[in-house]
Each structure stands twice: as C-alpha cells, then as structure tokens.
Amino acid sequence: MAKLMKANGEVIEVHPKESGKTFSLQELQGFVGGFIECLFLPNKKQVIVVNEDGKLLGLPFNTIATEALALAFSPVPINDFIVGDALLCERGTEIE
C-alpha cells in the first residue's frame, strides 16, 4: 500500500485508481502537484515520488518524507531533504 506523506505531517494510504494496476503518470503528478522525480531507495523495493521542481517552487519542507529517506539510507548520512507532498510506493506493484 502506498503512503502519501503530506508536507503538513499527514500520512494517507492511497491506491491506484484501477485495481490491480500501477499508478498512472497523471495520478503521480496529482499526488505531488507537478512533474515527478523518483528517488529509488537502496532496498530496491521502494520509490519515493516527489515534485521535481519542488525546491525551485519553494514548496514546504516535508519532515516525514525526509526522515523516511534518511532512514532508508541509514547508516549512510544524506545531505538532501524533501519538500512538498511525497508518495512512498512499492516498485513493480504500484509503480514500474
């Protein structure tokens, strides 16, 4: 199950509109509010989808998504952060 990690701290479980299918590009863009960028996590099973232009647009800092990213790369420290709403999803079943 995919988790929409909103910049306001809310986390919502979301599913592709079509049962048994992956999220469409339009769905992914709707979740993040623009062009998408995929951050592939080291476990090779999950992806965090973010707004590609989020930092340029000045979107708000997303504490939950940034912590999820840091945890995924632990113990290697990361020097990045996530802004705006982000979608954590499973590769192969929710996103290709």
Q: What is the pLDDT of residues 34-60, one digit of tens each?
A: 999 999 999 999 999 999 999 999 999
Asked if pLDDT for residue 94 goes beyond 90, the answer is: yes
| Confidence band for 7, pLDDT divided at 50, 70 and 90 | very high
| Position 95 in a domain | no
Query: Can you tell me the distance from the alpha carbon of 22 to that of 71, in angstroms, rounded to the nearest whole number?
Result: 25
| Position 34 in a domain | yes
Range picked from 15-19, 53-57, 74-78 for highest mean pLDDT: 53-57
| Position 96 in a domain | no
Domain encompassing residue 31: 2-90
Number of folded domains in the chain?
Answer: 1
Assess contact for 21 and 27: CB atoms under 8 A. Answer: no
What value, to the nearest 5°, has the Cα angle with vertex 14 and ends 12 and 16?
A: 165
Query: Can you tell me the distance from the alpha carbon of 16 to that of 2, in angstroms, rounded to the nearest whole number?
Result: 9
Provide the pLDDT for residue 11. 98
